[in-house]
């Protein structure tokens, strides 16, 4: 891949094998009164793909933002790969986030004036890290972007843009890839491709993935799902089926 240095080869060393993500009693309140997350505890092991579901306004995005260091909980603790992320000042949190966390949005958030390749390497350049050309080459192949590196985002389909966003979020080999409604803007077939990709990243590359979705069929592609209601985890399901999840969400709507 042009413009990138040669493969440096080392995999992330982690002698402790701590869970990829740990939340302990995470609470988020606004204006000192409005509790949006209420003592949420969660552990996600390395290589696991977790879906987060729940009614609109239940706190899913807030949970993702607190877990990924985009926001700081009011109380409780967040650890990523064993490193404490909560309670740090904004600068330290940003540095940790750049190195250890990937985030994918429904709206891709690619830089329109940059090529795909420049978009992929931008976070690395921002954090002053050396691009691992071998890794990025694998990534580009895996997400099916080889041959499209010179294009600008507007010259890609929605599915290709989301694949580029996923590749960008994995460029620094993060401990956890967070995704908030990554398939929300895609048609069914393209969404299925992106979900297959996320599942394979977990199964084959041991990439931990935490994804918020409204779609029970999308959540059923994960290894596990938790259902959030009123800022708490209402249910946790291993090997969820779309029917199971749909029933739980309907039951919540009736409460
Ligand atoms: N910055 C903020 N200030 C005050 N309240 C907020 C703020 N951000 C979110 N909230 C409130 O927190 C609650 C949860 O919001 P959140 O965005 O986490 O929900 P969600 O489950 O992601 O919903 P959706 O499915 O619609 O995306 C909502 O009641 C929302 O109004
Ligand atoms: Mg949301």
62 close to ligand 1 (CB < 6 Angstrom): yes
Q: Residue 182's pLDDT is what?
A: 95
Count other C-beta atoms under 10 Å from residue 73's C-beta. Answer: 24
CB 76 within 8 A of CB 49: no
DSSP classification of residue 153: G
DSSP per residue over 52-70, as a string? EE--TTSSHHHHHHHHTTS
Name the closest ligand to CA 228.
1
Average pLDDT over residues 122-133: 83
pLDDT in tens, 210-223: 999 999 999 999 99
Average pLDDT over residues 64-92: 94
In this structure, of 5-14, 60-69, 74-83, 228-237, the range with the lowest mean pLDDT score is 5-14
DSSP per residue over 140-154, as a string? HHHTT-TT-TTS-GG
Alpha carbon of 62 to ligand 2 centroid (Å): 7
36 close to ligand 1 (CB < 6 Angstrom): yes
Report residue 208's pLDDT band, with 50, 70 and 90 as the boundaries.
very high
8 against 238, higher pLDDT? 238
Q: Residue 132's pLDDT is what?
A: 80
Alpha carbon of 63 to ligand 1 centroid (Å): 10
- CATH architecture observed for domain 47-56+100-254: 3-Layer(aba) Sandwich (3.40)
Residue-averaged pLDDT of the chain: 90
Average pLDDT over residues 72-90: 94
Average pLDDT over residues 79-108: 92
pLDDT at 240 over 60: yes
pLDDT at 247 over 50: yes
Q: Residue 14's pLDDT is what?
A: 53
Alpha carbon of 56 to ligand 2 centroid (Å): 7
Average pLDDT over residues 40-61: 96
66 close to ligand 1 (CB < 6 Angstrom): no
Q: Residue 2's pLDDT is what?
A: 38
Burial of 60: CB neighbours in 10 Å, binned 0-12, 13-18, 19+:
buried
pLDDT at 5 over 70: no
pLDDT at 82 over 80: yes
Average pLDDT over residues 158-164: 94
Which range has the top average pLDDT, 2-11, 118-127, 146-155?
146-155
Report residue 10's pLDDT band, with 50, 70 and 90 as the boundaries.
very low
Average pLDDT over residues 127-141: 85
Tokens standing for 157?
A: 């389909």
pLDDT at 147 over 70: yes
- Residue 252, C-beta contacts closer than 8 angstroms, at least 6 positions apart: 54, 55, 227, 229, 234
Q: Residue 15's pLDDT is what?
A: 47
């Amino acid at each position: 891949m042009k413009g990138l240095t040669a493969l440096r080869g080392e995999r992330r060393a982690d002698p402790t094998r701590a869970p990829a993500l740990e939340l302990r009693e995470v609470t988020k309140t606004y204006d000192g009164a409005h509790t949006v997350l209420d003592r949420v505890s969660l552990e996600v092991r390395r290589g696991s793909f977790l879906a987060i579901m729940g009614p609109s306004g239940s706190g899913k995005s807030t949970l993702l933002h607190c877990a990924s260091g985009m926001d700081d909980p009011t109380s409780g603790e967040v650890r990523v790969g064993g490193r404490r992320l909560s309670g740090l000042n904004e600068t330290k949190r940003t540095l940790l986030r750049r190195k250890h966390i990937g985030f994918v949005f429904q709206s891709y958030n690619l830089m329109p004036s940059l090529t795909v390749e420049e978009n992929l390497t931008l976070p690395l350049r921002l954090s002053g890290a050396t691009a691992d050309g071998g890794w990025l080459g694998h990534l580009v192949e895996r997400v099916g972007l080889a041959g499209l590196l010179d294009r600008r985002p507007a010259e890609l389909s929605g599915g290709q843009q989301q694949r580029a966003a996923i590749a960008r979020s994995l460029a620094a080999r993060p401990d956890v890839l967070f995704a908030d409604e990554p398939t929300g803007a895609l048609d069914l077939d393209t969404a299925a491709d992106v979900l297959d990709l996320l599942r394979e990243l977990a199964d084959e590359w041991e990439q931990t993935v935490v994804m918020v979705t409204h779609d029970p069929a999308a959540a059923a592609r994960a290894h596990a799902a938790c259902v959030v209601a009123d800022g708490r985890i209402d249910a946790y399901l291993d090997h969820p089926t779309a029917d199971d999840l749909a029933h739980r969400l309907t039951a919540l709507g009736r409460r």
